Amino acid sequence: MKIKIAIAGYGNLGKGVECAVNDNPDTELFGVFTRRNPDDIKTLTGAKTFKIDEIQNYKDEIDVVILCGGSATDLPVQTPELAKYFNVVDSFDTHAKIPQHFDNVDKSAKEANKIAMISVGWDPGMFSLNRLYAKALLPNGEDYTFWGKGVSQGHSDAVRRIDGVLDARQYTVPIDAALEAVRSGKNPELSTREKHKRVCYVVAEDGADKDRIENEIKTMPNYFADYDTTVNFITAEEMERDHSGLPHGGFVIRSGNTGIDKSKKHIIEYSLKLDSNPEFTASVLVAFARAAYKMNKEGLKGCKTVFDVPPAYLLPISAEEIRKEIL
Amino acid sequence: MKIKIAIAGYGNLGKGVECAVNDNPDTELFGVFTRRNPDDIKTLTGAKTFKIDEIQNYKDEIDVVILCGGSATDLPVQTPELAKYFNVVDSFDTHAKIPQHFDNVDKSAKEANKIAMISVGWDPGMFSLNRLYAKALLPNGEDYTFWGKGVSQGHSDAVRRIDGVLDARQYTVPIDAALEAVRSGKNPELSTREKHKRVCYVVAEDGADKDRIENEIKTMPNYFADYDTTVNFITAEEMERDHSGLPHGGFVIRSGNTGIDKSKKHIIEYSLKLDSNPEFTASVLVAFARAAYKMNKEGLKGCKTVFDVPPAYLLPISAEEIRKEIL
């Protein structure tokens, strides 16, 4: 009996989940639920499509719903609502609002005897786990998170809103010198500007004032003003050819000291280099959907995060096999 | 109320645990238990010393015993024995015998309603966890573990047993070209010789035949014959000055593909660079001792590995704080 997974929301992330469900031996796709007209959607693998409003009708046929909407407006409403009927997993990533989201979701899930796993992905998600493990192992230390090289959708959108800009892509790039200083164990204090730089590729309207666009980008508060930013004007063809992917990744590094005189230095580093941010996030979601299903089968309920999941629940093989093959 | 930890066995690992217990805000050392005469041992922090045979007398005063003996003869006997009275944590690292050790320990711990956490450290331990997470996230992929640069005690001992050798230190060194091939996502097939090389530093007896010693090292089956090995003869002073530490570390890398046509490549890399292998292993043991204590408080019992521990149990702060600060 495979774990039956439903997808709620069919953008890049939903498509990634569709592929990831296919790639795992113990999961199968029940279908895709959407706000759009289901008949208008052609899925990658031929999965069935349904109206999101009718998802409750399939309450007994779905083991886990993976929510693939956005953190700004979709998930704060959808996750607590769907947790009333299903085990759910989401990738809620608005850090400041996680405690509130947790409480809302926890209430629904507990009442329904379901597991609702929130903020699953790579950051929050795998990076959070690595921050936790590293902090537990090296209590005397400092940790550092670097993002990139990768496309930031939020920053790309901010550039696109500038007058005269037809299209834009923004890469967040960690600065090598900062990474090396951290890896050396020096525990440096690093300013925002010292950790990351920003590189923009912009397609401008014919006749647009490129100097003005460049200046508006570089001085944009919050998004760019605190960083060294490079702006490259390119053609629509170059954009399509060279910047159509959504790569991302980054580094979590902790350096700390042990010993009676604290003289021994240790560096723990975790890094991701991802060709596709949504496809990798989707793969994380599916692994934790498996865990949510197993934990619920054992009688657990309520809101959970990656911190609450015994790692063995993430694999489709038995505890004995895991110990034998992986320990 | 701090978690009261006892140390069984006072070598390098036991000393590391003593320091790590000191470095954590919620743990305190009950004392050190030893097979030697307790009065002969001067601990690093002034911790009390006791005869190991008398440990049962302190059954109600100790929350967790961390076993710091060796995997060959100590732990197979000590862990199942002490699990009859205490929550215990060990670093059993004989991979092939883990299933047997698990079963023995599980029986004792279940009967006593205790938690016994085995094979805790960095490999087995943190490297195992990273192999598990990476495999769960990228089911279509390959993983690779590299060790070093670091001192292998077993290989150093093997060289010391050669006639004419006074002292020896063996470093296991991962080969850069292999690491780079793996990081490129090529999923290369690598022979033993292609992954690691071995570098030995040897202090020979006056007048010993160095050519013979070098040849005996390089042709030693299992230990060296399958590797490219370099042998350097040095003085006792140089050994003391340059090779008295026990550094180690390594890399766990998984590369895998996702997407409808498997065209997207992802690389997950975890690495450790450790000034002191025993002190870092000790830090891992103490973090998992905290988890063992908490899990037992919640009524859990039996043998556990790092795969069974919800990560949140590893930190001395509440689940709310962990979500707020680390997620």
> Which one of B136, B271, B308 has the shortest CB-CB distance to A269?
B271
pLDDT of residue B204: 97
Angstrom CA distances, A201 to A15, A81, A148, A165, B219, stand at 26, 40, 16, 10, 58
Q: What is the mean pLDDT of residues A268-283?
A: 98
- Please give the Cα distance from A110 to A282 (Å, whole number): 25
- Tokens 């956490």 — which residue? B117
Rounded to a whole number of angstroms, the distance from the CA of B95 to the nearest CA of chain A is 7
- Alpha-carbon torsion B305, B309, B314, B316, what sign? negative
Helix (H) or strand (E) holding A135: helix A126-137
Is residue A157 very low, low, confident or very high in pLDDT (cuts 50, 70, 90)?
very high
Q: What is the mean pLDDT of residues A84-96?
A: 96
pLDDT of residue B235: 97
Q: How confident is chain B (327 residues) per 10-residue block, as mean pLDDT? A: 97 98 97 97 96 97 97 96 98 94 98 98 97 98 96 94 97 97 94 96 97 97 95 98 97 97 97 98 98 98 98 97 95
pLDDT of residue A144: 97
For residue A145, give every residue at least 6 positions away whose Cβ sits within 8 Å of its Cβ, in sequence order, or none.
Answer: A123, A127, A131, A250, A251, A252
pLDDT of residue B34: 97
Q: What is the mean pLDDT of residues A250-258?
A: 98
* A3 has a chain B CB within 8 A of its CB: no
> Which one of A24, A273, A309 has the shortest CB-CB distance to B267?
A273
* B4 has a chain A CB within 8 A of its CB: no
pLDDT of residue A269: 98
pLDDT of residue A259: 96
- Asked if B280 lies within 8 A of A272 by C-beta distance, the reply is no
Nearest residue on chain B to A290, alpha-carbon basis: B136
Is residue A122 very low, low, confident or very high in pLDDT (cuts 50, 70, 90)?
very high
Is residue A289 very low, low, confident or very high in pLDDT (cuts 50, 70, 90)?
very high
pTM: 0.96
